[in-house]
Structure 1
Amino acid sequence: MPEVMLVEDDTDLRQATAETLELAGFRVHLFGAATPALEALRPDFAGVILSDLRMPGLSGLDFLDRAREVAPEVPFILITAHGDVPAAIRAMRGGAHDFLEKPCAPELMLDVLRRAQAMRDLHLENARLRQTRIEDRLIGRSAVMQDLRQRLRALAGLQLDLLIAGETGTGKEKAARILHDLSPRGDGPFVAINCGALSEAEVDRELFGTTDTPGLIARAQGGTLYLDELESMPDGLQVRLLRVVEAREITPLGAAPRPVDLRILGSVKRPPDALVTAGQLRADLFHRFNATLPMPPLREREDDAALLVAHFAGEAAARHDLPKIHIDSALRRRIAYHDWPGNVREARNLAERLVIGLDTSFPTPGGGTETVNMGYDDAMDAFESRLLRSALIQTGGRKTEAAALLGVPRKRLYLRLRHHGML
């Protein structure tokens, strides 16, 4: 739920604004002055501050200065009277997120607050990801994965433009996000562009923007620009991208060239040299990147496939509220033999199918296929668990009614609930 710290000394206006926010789904913390609000503010506050400018004691501007010291990442929005607009503009230069002029339409206020909350949510998510160990984000015990994680740590802090090469599903974007999160630019934006989805007709507006609307490249200012499937970008667009990579400069429609401060990461599905030879990737663009980071396919990662299937199966079981599956020796053999053309993404999908009880086919050494499923007992357990949960949901958790709905004695229902850990 989005949160707002509302600071307003006018009692009637404070209450009316709070009611509007609560009806829109916000959790509101009310303060009649800046000093108690400042005392309650913490750096990890997950919401937004909405404060009046003119208040007795600490003014809105004073509150802004103090709030920036205590919680610099919390968006701060000022409410101003018409004559205070110049002061509000000065406050924005000093770090305020936005300002609203009295009287303010509720729709405008809610829109500004929601956009500020979205920015705060993104910052908190990025902070959470940066604190997640790289071993938990790129899973694998094989030597090639240990080497990859070590290279990512070493490259993250360097201002290098990198090309990430790997087959579909090897985790190229995940590697790019790790490079961003562990870099000095980690607090900045991470903007991913699917180059295969760009049309030459709209590329100027989409990539470079206009005088009024920033394009995707400009939105990566201070952060990282990730160009996915670079080889799918038409040759003419690759030429235009050269200027960005080489000179860190863009030219929006109808505007003069302007500099951009960002790091550029790209990805390709095949070795870059082969793409250059095939004419899919311009040599001059390829050579603008400082280095290439290869992503290993799953078939070359020793026993990582079974480890990944078990990990993703655990996640799927928790997500669907289903029992965990047992990966027996027969399934391990099939996993070890499989080539994994879809790599890690295929392992995740397979684990999902196993957990929900769908049959899964693997190729056999003789050229045929072998169907692997959860086994009769596991499949029946999963079915019964779903049935019990559905009955409890329909009856609001009332077990006597659930037993009647299922047509079983209440004692038997309790036994089966206990078997599935629902009691």
Structure 2
Amino acid sequence: MARKMAVMLIEDDQDLREATCETLEAAAFSVHTFGNAKAALENLDSISPDVILSDMRLPGMSGLDFLDVIRQQAPDIPFVLITGHGDVSSALRAMRAGAHDFLEKPCQPELVIDILRRAVAMRRLSQENEALRNRLATTIAPEDRLLGKAPVMVELRRRVAALGGLQVDLLIAGETGTGKELVARVLHAISARRNGPFVAVNCGALNQAEIDRELFGDTSVPGRLVRAEGGTLYLDELEAMPEALQVRLLRVVDAREISPLGMPPRQLDLRILGSVKGDPTQLVAQGKLRADLFHRFNAGALRLPPLRERPGDAEMLLEHFVAEATERHDLPVPNISTALLRQAAWYAWPGNVREVRTVAERLVIGLDVSLDEGLQERAVVSEGFDAAMEGFESRLLQAALLQAGGRKNDAASLLGIPRKRLYLRMRHHGLE
């Protein structure tokens, strides 16, 4: 029998506390009730709740103060706050401090139950992902998580292995979906800071005020620069950061010092990794990335190749992600037709590795997959003639080999060339 989801309920109104408890128990929750935050904290370790549901206004320690303590002691437990009418501003402050969600009184029972179930589901998914990452960390060399047999990927793994142990800030450049955060995590995993935290900030998903608060914090909540102490801070989409914040970040990167509002300066011990979408030199020319910040990060820049520049990798990645999704969903392995593999070899993959993962997921759960519509994207001129012809020849060889089932004599016949010439061109493209 599955374990009931454990809820820690903190509410000082006894009648409301008992009514909420009855509602949650009827929905198959295991409920532990408290009239104040102090008593709840004393029992936190023994209960190990899946989710905390707390009123905002409590005797002694308020709900907001309680949230701050929970974020320090048990940051992975989702925290849902119940607010009274007119407390919305405080609730928004709680969301910024890490609350999962908030409810405004009077709360609809169905909404309370739905939010708690979603919070628990998100926590369990996060725990499963963390367990998977830990399992991979113990069974696979970090640099080997960068999958691919194309020469550009072999070179990328070599560079990552060489730069991982160096205490330098790095810039990672690549199109959407090429695996910039994965490379950042690998660099962290093979560094001397691997036992410290890996803290990520997506600058493209936040406005200027949010980036400022997330990075530098405020009087009540430490920023991520402080939370990454002893580990690695990863700043995704640096080009989306407003120029004023790029200047402030540059000072921190140079001085390794932060001055929280109203507090003395604090020295920082961390490594900073940044990433940008596209060519950083073009971003500098366009005024999206400050030249001084680019050069400060450019001690060892890493360029991640798009999938269209990685001959043979799309098919290999598709099969890998299908196997991975099959295990995760506990479903039978689907048939990957030769026609689909040929399409994968020719398709432009605008979403890169992330798109391959999505296609694999659709295959495993039984949804239709066709890459025919995207094949026309190859007609877009995005590279020089010689490079385009090299890529065309590589894909043509791969398609012939796939159609021939790997039999080189048959592939040479399909192409109408001598077998020796096929061998020579395969060697040229690293397809042996």
TM-score normalised according to structure 1 size: 0.58
The code of the aligned residue for 1:238 comes to Q
* 1:195-206 alignment runs, 5 A limit: 195-206=203-214
Q: Tell me the equivalent position of 2:152.
A: 144
Match of 1:110 in 2: 44
CA contact (8 A) 2:172 2:180 kept: yes
1:94-136 CA-partner distances (Å, limit 9, x unpaired): xxxxxxxxxx624443179676566898998775454332365
**Cα contact 2:171–2:302 (8 A) shared by 1:** yes
The separation in 2 between residues aligned to 1:299 and 1:292, in whole angstroms, is 21
Q: Is the 8 A contact 2:347 2:375 kept in 1?
A: no
Candidates 244, 249, 254, aligned match of 1:246: 254
SS in 1 for 2:43: helix
Matches of 2:226 and 2:143 in 1, distance apart? 32
Would the aligned equivalents of 1:126 and 1:186 in 2 still touch at CA under 8 Å? no
Cα deviation code 1:372-394 (max 9, x no counterpart): xxxxxxxxxxxxxxxxxxxxxxx
Letter of the 2:39 partner, please give it.
A
Q: Deviations over 1:141-181 (max 9, x none)?
A: 22211211111111111001000000000000000000001
Q: Name the SS for the 2:349 alignment partner.
A: coil
For the Cα contact (< 8 Å) 1:196–1:232, is it kept in 2?
yes
The residue type equivalent to 2:209 in the other structure is A
* Residue number among 162, 169, 172 corresponding to 2:177 in the alignment: 169
Per-residue displacement from partner, 1:203-234 (whole Å, max 9, x unpaired)? 44322123442111100001001000000111
Q: Is the 8 A contact 2:193 2:230 kept in 1?
A: yes
Equivalent residue, structure 2, for 1:221: 229
Determine if the alignment matches structure 1 residue 308 to structure 2 residue 299.
no
Gap change, CA 1:201 and 1:184, over 3 Å in 2:
same
Separation (CA, whole Å) in 2 of partners of 1:323 and 1:129? 22
Correspondence 1:378-389 to 2 at 5 A: none
Shift of residue 246 of structure 1? Answer: 0.9
Structure 1, unmatched stretches of 5+, are 2-22, 26-103, 370-423
Which of 335, 342, 345 aligns to 1:336? It is 345
Q: CA deviation at 1:354?
A: 1.6
Percent of paired sites with the same residue: 58
Aligned residues: 273
Shift in CA distance, 322/301, structure 1 to aligned 2, threshold 3 Å: same
Q: Are 1:357 and 2:291 matched, yes or no? A: no
Q: CA deviation at 1:313?
A: 0.9
8 Å contact kept, 1:126–1:187: no
Deviation at 1:286, TM superposition (A): 0.6
CA distance in 2, matches of 1:169, 1:366: 18
Secondary structure of 2:171's match?
Answer: strand
Matched, 1:263 2:276: no
Max radius of gyration: which structure?
Answer: 1
Match of 1:318 in 2: 327
Does the 8 Å CA contact 1:191/1:219 hold for their aligned counterparts? yes
- Give the conservation status (yes or no) of the 8 Å contact 2:203–2:238: yes
Q: Is the 8 A contact 2:230 2:269 kept in 1?
A: yes
Tell me the distance in 2 between the aligned counterparts of 1:343 and 1:123.
Answer: 24
Query: Do 1:129 and 1:181's aligned partners in 2 also have CA atoms closer than 8 Å?
Result: no
What is the distance in 2 between the residues matched to 1:359 and 1:167? Answer: 26
Contact 2:142/2:190, CA 8 A, preserved across alignment: no
- Is the CA contact (8 Å cut-off) linking 2:188 and 2:194 kept in structure 1? yes
**Partner Cα distance (1:152, 1:162) in 2:** 11
User: How far apart, in 2, do the equivalents of 1:259 and 1:292 lie?
Assistant: 26
- AA aligned to 1:278 is Q
Summarize the Cα distance change of 1:314–1:130 in structure 2 as closer, same or farther, 3 Å threshold: closer
Q: Show the 5 A alignment for 1:92-103.
A: none
Which stretch shows the higher mean deviation, 130-139 or 214-223?
Answer: 130-139
Amino acid at match of 1:320: H
Equivalent-residue separation in structure 2 for 1:235 and 1:128 (angstroms): 40
Q: Give how far 1:325 is off.
A: 1.7
Q: Quote the Cα distance in structure 2 between the aligned partners of 1:123 and 1:325.
A: 27
1:134–1:149: 8 Å Cα contact kept in structure 2?
Answer: no
Q: Deviations over 1:337-386 (max 9, x none)?
A: 101000000001011112222222323698499xxxxxxxxxxxxxxxxx
Aligned to 1:410: none
CA distance in 1, matches of 2:225, 2:272: 10
Matched residues in 2 for 1:304 and 1:366: separation?
17
SS at match of 1:187: coil
* Structure 1 pair 195–368 and aligned structure 2 pair: CA distance change class (3 A): closer
Alpha-carbon shift at residue 266 of structure 1 (Å): 0.3
Per the alignment, residue 272 of structure 1 pairs with 280
| Contact preservation (8 Å) 2:348, 2:375 | no
Q: In the aligned structure 2, how far is the partner of 1:124 from the partner of 1:255? A: 38
Q: Judge which range, 174-183 or 118-127, deviates more.
A: 118-127
User: For residue 318 of structure 1, what is the amino acid of its counterpart?
Assistant: E
Take 2:219 and 2:74, find their aligned partners in 1: how far apart are those partners?
A: 26
- Between the aligned partners of 1:257 and 1:118, the Cα distance in structure 2 is 26
- What TM-score, normalized to structure 2? 0.57
Q: Name the aligned partner's letter for residue 105 of structure 1.
A: A
For 1:4-43, list aligned pairs within 5 A: none
Which stretches of structure 1, 4 residues or longer, exceed 4 Å deviation after superposition?
Answer: 111-129, 364-369
Q: Is the CA contact (8 Å cut-off) linking 1:130 and 1:182 kept in structure 2?
A: no
2:232 is the counterpart of 1:298: no
Does the 8 Å CA contact 1:194/1:227 hold for their aligned counterparts?
yes
- In structure 1, what is the equivalent of residue 292 of structure 2? 284
- Aligned partners of 1:283, 1:173: CA distance in 2, in Å? 22
